[in-house]
Chains A and B, each alone.
Chain A
Amino acid sequence: MNVLFEQAGNWLPHLWNGLKLSLGVTVASLLIGLPLGFLLSLGVISRSRAVRYGALAVVEIGRGAPSLVLLQFAYFGLPSTGLVFSSFAASVAALSWSTAAYSSEIIRAGLQSVPAGQSEAALATGMTRLDTMRFVVLPQGLRIAIPALLGFAILIFQTTSLCFAIALPELTSRAYEIGTNTFQYLPALTLAGLLYLAVCVPATLIVSWVEARAAS
């Protein structure tokens, strides 16, 4: 373990750049995935059967297939259709799909937890369906969904480690690279593990604080 302390200074800048890339993929996937997830959640509860089944298929494939397979599908599979992605674009595409699929279920659960009487009352007072959604159901439903969405954001950050498999130089890839170059796998990977902890532990504490606040 002594190597860890001797080399930490040399390795940290390299790993730090990897961590920034991991966070970049996380943020990009959330920015694209969450709005899509919201649209999918509306699709799944839509009254039109075609829209409902279409949205359900996107959600169930996104949740049912391992993220690793989605990543490899985007990076190794799509080029045969002529769509060539860089490893960053492929990572963001695959993880946005994952995000959209999982968050749509979280948002749907939030929207459906708003008592039906709320929207019935809004419709009875003459509000249009769109206004009922916009002013009555959404503000309450999204608030319920927020703690679960934050928890999911941490999960997506951890999932970016799988981009190792499609040669994206994020945190895990860089720790592995240091390992192969120096044969110091244990200290390099330990350092990467500590960096993941440094992000996830405070984030987890914040999420449980938000959860506790939302519950009271």
Chain B
Amino acid sequence: MAEIAAQVLLGLPWTIAVTALALAIGLVLGMPVMLARRSRWPWLRFLTGSLITLVRSIPPIVWLFLIFFGIGSGYFKISPFAAAVVGMGLISSAYMAEIYRGALLSIHSGQMEGASALGLHPVRVWIDVVAPQLFRVALPAMATFAIGLLKDSAVSSTIGVPELTFQANAQSMATYRGMEVFSFVAAVYIALSVPVAWLSRILDRRLRAKVSR
């Protein structure tokens, strides 16, 4: 069993890499998507809203297949890892945009009006006034999403990324001990999500202390 566990854990860096990179893409791209979603032009709002619905309505595994087999089997070769990161990154951008948008709704419009009335440049209003509050409000939802993403990264095993679930599958086939193997890998996922939840609680407390109330 220790041998099997060691083999399965070889997938751990891949799981963490897919999750972390996809989350990073979502954290960055989610911002412009959210801004486009509440642009002053109705056509851009509609376009972004439709794209977000499109991304969220198609299951992650279908996105990964579309990218890896659909696009990647032509002249444009793409590695399983790159396909997984691009696909999961796409999905997390759409989700993060909605999380940012929800958090922004909770920031009183007087904050922005007050800041611009004081003569702050619009960019500074966003960086110094809106963003710190936005991240604080969005943090719990972001942590929940990150844990969800960690579990969704298991899907990348289907296109051959050698992460935890992929290794578990290989071990289950090699040893015929599926029961132990899959129980172990489930425990690893649960163990991984505990520190994320814990970290988010600590960060939440710190951000709360930094920004008033």
B190-212 contacts to A, CB under 8 A, are: 190, 193
Residues of chain A lying within 8 A (CB to CB) of residue B189: 64-66, 69
Give the number of chain B interface residues (Cβ < 8 Å).
Answer: 39
Flag if A183 contacts B73 (CB, 8 Å): yes
Known interface pairs A69-B185, A80-B178, A161-B62; A197-B57 also in contact (CB < 8 Å): yes
Residues of chain A lying within 8 A (CB to CB) of residue B193: 64
Q: Tell me if B179 counts as interface (CB < 8 A to partner A).
A: yes
Tell me which of B63-71, B79-87, B110-118, B121-129 binds A: B63-71
Flag if B157 contacts A68 (CB, 8 Å): yes
Nearest-neighbour CB distance to chain B for A196, whole angstroms, equals: 5
Most chain B CB atoms below 10 A, which of A66, A78, A176, A179: A66
Known interface pairs A69-B154, A72-B178, A80-B178; A172-B61 also in contact (CB < 8 Å): yes
- Select A77's contact among B59, B71, B154, B178, beta carbons within 8 Å: B178
Q: Tell me if B158 counts as interface (CB < 8 A to partner A).
A: yes
Q: Tell me if A158 counts as interface (CB < 8 A to partner B).
A: yes
Flag if A193 contacts B186 (CB, 8 Å): no
Q: How far is the CA of A113 from the CA of B86 in the complex (A)?
A: 39
B103-153 contacts to A, CB under 8 A, are: 151-152
Q: How far is the CA of A158 from the CA of B57 in the complex (A)?
A: 8
Q: Tell me if A81 counts as interface (CB < 8 A to partner B).
A: yes
Flag if B61 contacts A60 (CB, 8 Å): no
Flag if A186 contacts B186 (CB, 8 Å): no
- Select A81's contact among B60, B152, B179, beta carbons within 8 Å: B179
Residues of chain B lying within 8 A (CB to CB) of residue A189: 62, 65-66, 69-70
Q: Tell me if B172 counts as interface (CB < 8 A to partner A).
A: yes
Residues of chain B lying within 8 A (CB to CB) of residue A165: 157-158
Secondary structure at the A interface, as helix, strand, loop or mixed, is helix
Q: Tell me if B22 counts as interface (CB < 8 A to partner A).
A: no
Nearest-neighbour CB distance to chain A for B25, whole angstroms, equals: 20
Flag if A66 contacts B151 (CB, 8 Å): yes
Q: Tell me if A73 counts as interface (CB < 8 A to partner B).
A: yes
Q: Tell me if B10 counts as interface (CB < 8 A to partner A).
A: no
Flag if A67 contacts B53 (CB, 8 Å): no
Residues of chain A lying within 8 A (CB to CB) of residue B58: 158, 193, 196-197, 200
Nearest-neighbour CB distance to chain B for A100, whole angstroms, equals: 16
Q: Tell me if B7 counts as interface (CB < 8 A to partner A).
A: no
Q: Tell me if B9 counts as interface (CB < 8 A to partner A).
A: no
Q: How far is the CA of A69 from the CA of B59 in the complex (A)?
A: 16
Known interface pairs A77-B182, A162-B155; A186-B176 also in contact (CB < 8 Å): no
Residues of chain A lying within 8 A (CB to CB) of residue B61: 161-162, 164, 172
| Interface membership of chain A positions 14-36, coded 1 if the CB is closer than 8 angstroms to chain B and 0 otherwise | 00000000000000000000000
Residues of chain A lying within 8 A (CB to CB) of residue B157: 68, 165
| Interface membership of chain A positions 144-172, coded 1 if the CB is closer than 8 angstroms to chain B and 0 otherwise | 00000000000000110110110000001
A47-89 contacts to B, CB under 8 A, are: 60-61, 64-70, 72-73, 76-81
Flag if A79 contacts B178 (CB, 8 Å): yes
- A-B contacts, 18 of them at CB < 8 A, read A60-B190, A61-B190, A64-B186, A65-B189, A66-B186, A66-B189, A67-B151, A68-B154, A69-B189, A72-B168, A72-B182, A76-B169, A161-B61, A183-B73, A186-B71, A196-B57, A200-B57, A204-B53
What 10 A-B pairs come out closest when comparing CB atoms? A65-B186, A186-B70, A200-B57, A64-B190, A76-B178, A161-B59, A77-B178, A66-B154, A66-B151, A185-B69
Known interface pairs A68-B155, A70-B186, A165-B157; 8 further A-B residue pairs with C-beta atoms within 8 A, sorted by A's residue number = A64-B151, A72-B165, A159-B59, A172-B65, A190-B70, A196-B58, A197-B58, A201-B57
